[in-house]
Structure 1
């Protein structure tokens, strides 16, 4: 919460600084403005410059933090992708899928159509349908939806040794 307050304060200082410089420019262009001592004028200008520099520093720090969060998220995503592929390969091994069936099953899980799979594998749709039927038989399912559901169920299985999450009131 304090960082939001700090950033809000810095934005206010920057807005006041920008307003001061805009006002100064307009008074110079139109030749208007009341008498302000040069000392007060210089103090206000120094404050405005410091406010703008503080904004640049804060923006730089915020950008660095955002880059760090992005890198951390990308690392987690790569780990999750790797874990998913491990689960997929483990399941394919347990079903005894051939290399061709593995390709077809992976494309099916990714949501590709039979014609798209056939085109990617440079084979006929009939071959893909036959391989899909073999995959469904080995997996103990009847269609692509059930195959995907089986993977989702497998991924969502919890370690029974871990304590169950508490329900919040």
Structure 2
């Protein structure tokens, strides 16, 4: 991946240099003609070759720009797909943990909202229940998970993400 990034940067630098050089050639030619500065004459064949070379350079710049654009889109798509995979794996892991803890469907939903960072009031509003019901469900979740509060509940999942040496066992850390 690092090599691909370096090659992409090299292509972009080459693109800028080629298009910049060609643009300078055409703009300087026009400006020198407008302000009346004459350069020593060169043969018309040499001039035609320079103009053809600059035009080919601009065309090459367009092609390289298109290649860079397509690679950027491909990299974006790959990153989005990777993020979707990570999200799905994390949700699957949370569902497994919730099942291992024996959460009811209502507790599962409250735990998910809690991990997402919603307040007790927000969860109650979303579920059309009272704050007291949500608090009772949260206490049941914490008891079943073996934690004392929301911060520890979240740390269970954070520890799972950061601890790459252990397999997800479904049991909370103590």
Q: TM-score range by the shorter chain?
A: 0.7 to 0.9
Which blocks of at least 5 consecutive residues in structure 1 are unaligned?
162-169
Which blocks of at least 5 consecutive residues in structure 2 are unaligned?
1-5, 168-174
Q: How does 1:126-165 map to 2 (within 5 A)?
A: 126-158=132-164
| Residue of structure 1 in register with 2:90 after alignment | 84
Is the CA contact (8 Å cut-off) linking 1:108 and 1:144 kept in structure 2?
yes
| Residue of structure 2 in register with 1:45 after alignment | 51
Is the CA contact (8 Å cut-off) linking 1:10 and 1:51 kept in structure 2?
no
* Partner Cα separation in structure 2 for residue 157 and residue 11 of structure 1: 44
* CA displacement at 1:4 relative to structure 2: 4.5
Is the CA contact (8 Å cut-off) linking 2:102 and 2:144 kept in structure 1?
yes
| Residue of structure 1 in register with 2:3 after alignment | none
| Residue of structure 2 in register with 1:14 after alignment | 19
* Partner Cα separation in structure 1 for residue 9 and residue 110 of structure 2: 50
Single out whichever of 33-42 and 116-125 deviates more from structure 2: 33-42
Single out whichever of 66-75 and 15-24 deviates more from structure 2: 66-75
Residue 65 of structure 2, aligned match among 59, 78, 82 = 59
Q: CA 1:82–1:57 in 2, change beyond 3 Å: closer, same or farther?
A: same
Is the CA contact (8 Å cut-off) linking 1:101 and 1:135 kept in structure 2?
yes
User: Is 2:104 the partner of 1:98?
Assistant: yes
Is the CA contact (8 Å cut-off) linking 1:20 and 1:48 kept in structure 2?
yes
Q: CA 1:76–1:38 in 2, change beyond 3 Å: closer, same or farther?
A: same
Residues 107-141 of structure 1 deviation map (CA, whole Å, 9 limit, x = unaligned): 11111111221222222222211111111111111
Residues 66-115 of structure 1 deviation map (CA, whole Å, 9 limit, x = unaligned): 22222222222221111111111111111111111111100111111112
Single out whichever of 73-82 and 104-113 deviates more from structure 2: 73-82
| TM-score of the aligned structures, taking structure 1 as reference length | 0.83
Provide the alpha-carbon RMSD of the alignment. 2.2
User: Is 2:90 the partner of 1:116?
Assistant: no
* Partner Cα separation in structure 2 for residue 2 and residue 83 of structure 1: 32
